[in-house]
Amino acid sequence: MRIVVIGHGMVGSRLVEDLIARDQDAYVTVLGREPHGPYNRVLLSSVVAGKSDPAMLAMSAVDSERARVLDGIHAVDVDRAARTVTDSRGDVHAYDRLVFATGSAARIPDILGIATDRGLVPGVSVLKDLADAEGILARLPKSRRAVVLGAGVLGLEVATGLAARGLTVTLVHHSDRVMERQLGDAAAQIATGSLSRLGVRVVTGSSVAQAIDRRGQLSAVRLTDGTEVLTDLLVMCAGTIPEATLARRAGLACERGIVVGSDLASPTDPAVFAIGDCAQPPEGGTGLVAQGWDQATRLVDAWTGASVPVARPAHDDPTSIVRVKASGLDVVTMGLSGKFEHGERELRAVRLADPSIGRFVEVVVSHGLLVGATVVGDKDCAAQLSAMYTRMIPVPADPAHLIIRPLAGAGPAAAASVEDMDDADTVCQCNTVTKGRICAAIADGCDSVEDVAKATRASTGCGDCRANVTRLIEAAAHDKVPALAG
């Protein structure tokens, strides 16, 4: 079975790794546009903030005689009639199945003066790949001011990261509140107050209309309200667009992304599939890597004859937890949070807002379960509610107890620490890795987070579970140390 995978990012590499491991008849050719192997794009904002080294982002790549990986070589043409893909060197690759894992591209707003025929003006950048992050890092030593366009999750992470590095930061957002897709008015106001305390000036209801350069270097931006803001750096975090250009050219059905059915196959051609950000599945897209990984697993399951779980609606997926990895700002949303009317009969909602200390907590309950939550400025509460949401633990009769005394009296309580968790409990939500699996890997000789990641994939997603994996390694090492004689 000849399979060609276009795209060697977090999702494409996962598919190839699983496929080679589980299907002995699979021979795979991978075409990757970037000149290096897969890496964790989720942590790019941490690189900009100085919390992660670029070298730490590298992920394992498949090593097999049945996999031919061509990094730095991209697909330029798909001939569906002949079932071939032509790459940028002119080589032709035949396939029985073709998988698009091309991800998404950064959306570049229509801003006067941001580009010339040579590309973006020096000082203007997006943050979509490692080259973008390295370009921003190279610019930092000569930058004192920055403007970040877009106050979604990435925009908040970049703005707080640059502020933590000592830059004067202005965050500009077109909507009337930050993170409007996840946060309601009250939560957004509290998040904005926290941003201000971190040194980030927030301008809502506006956008960047023009980039002003001086001697070929960015020197200021003009907002749509006419205000001029001096800046050395403009980072555009204005969303993404599914990368479906090649699929459209090949005549595949495309809307916003590459249209696929529940089997992830194109309705235009049953030999062509799409997964990750480039795909448009019936259940909708979350924009989270966990969904792409789940799609990769489902595809391999289908091809190898394993049972295939039905994809859940994007808003009802327990992996659909949105976390802002910002310096000094904790924001976590999950499930139906911010996406419903409080008057709906089957939903019960309770909230606590305390602007003076920058805390907001809202829980949404339905039929005895937590179906959504928003937490700003309370990391411990967010961790406990996340555990309750993903493990589907029954809630107290009075949902207010989830806020006043998080998880107290909630039946089977969520573990207060990773050491107290059961082996069946999930430690890594992105990859659905249980404590038992991690402990088994440690018992087999894994003595570092990197070793555990290679064995189980824990910590290779958003990275939030890295501290818990470290604690399990330390606990195991402590248990191996013989007690001193009294």
Q: How confident is the model at residue 433 (pLDDT cuts 50, 70, 90)?
A: confident
Q: Give mean pLDDT, residues 376-388.
A: 89
pLDDT value of position 410: 41
Residue-wise pLDDT for 106-145, tens only, equals: 999 999 999 988 899 999 999 999 999 999 999 999 999 9
Q: Is the pLDDT of residue 428 over 90?
A: no
pLDDT value of position 486: 41
Q: What letter represents residue 153's amino acid? A: V
Q: Give mean pLDDT, residues 273-279.
A: 97
Residue-wise pLDDT for 287-313, tens only, equals: 889 899 999 999 999 999 876 555 555
Work out the mean pLDDT of the chain and round it to a whole number: 89
Residue-wise pLDDT for 439-453, tens only, equals: 988 988 888 888 888
Residue-wise pLDDT for 25-66, tens only, equals: 999 999 999 999 999 999 999 999 999 898 889 888 888 999
Of 419 and 389, the structure prediction assigns the larger pLDDT to 389
Q: Is the pLDDT of residue 240 over 80?
A: yes
Question: How far apart, in Å, are the Cα atoms of 154 and each of 42, 52, 414, 459?
Answer: 9, 15, 29, 19
Q: Give mean pLDDT, residues 341-360.
A: 81
Q: Is the pLDDT of residue 345 over 60?
A: no
pLDDT value of position 285: 86
Of 216 and 318, the structure prediction assigns the larger pLDDT to 216
Q: Is the pLDDT of residue 344 over 70?
A: no
Q: How confident is the model at residue 276 (pLDDT cuts 50, 70, 90)?
A: very high
Instruction: Give the global pTM.
Output: 0.87
Q: Give mean pLDDT, residues 192-200.
A: 96
Question: Out of 102-106, 279-283, 416-420, which region has the weakest mean confidence (pLDDT)?
Answer: 416-420
Q: Give mean pLDDT, residues 241-256.
A: 97
Of 310 and 240, the structure prediction assigns the larger pLDDT to 240
pLDDT value of position 413: 44
Q: Give mean pLDDT, residues 240-253.
A: 97
Q: Is the pLDDT of residue 404 over 80?
A: no
Give the integer Cα–Cα distance in Å for 5 and 101.
7
Of 421 and 261, the structure prediction assigns the larger pLDDT to 261
Q: Is the pLDDT of residue 480 over 80?
A: no
Q: How confident is the model at residue 471 (pLDDT cuts 50, 70, 90)?
A: confident
pLDDT value of position 267: 97
Please state, for a pLDDT cut of 70, what percent of the chain lies above it: 92
Query: What domains appear along the chain, each with residue ranges and CATH number?
Result: 2-105+241-304 (3.50.50.60), 115-238 (3.50.50.60), 313-414 (3.30.390.30), 417-481 (1.10.10.1100)
Q: Give mean pLDDT, residues 241-259.
A: 97
pLDDT value of position 180: 93
Q: Give mean pLDDT, residues 18-27.
A: 94
pLDDT value of position 352: 92
pLDDT value of position 215: 86
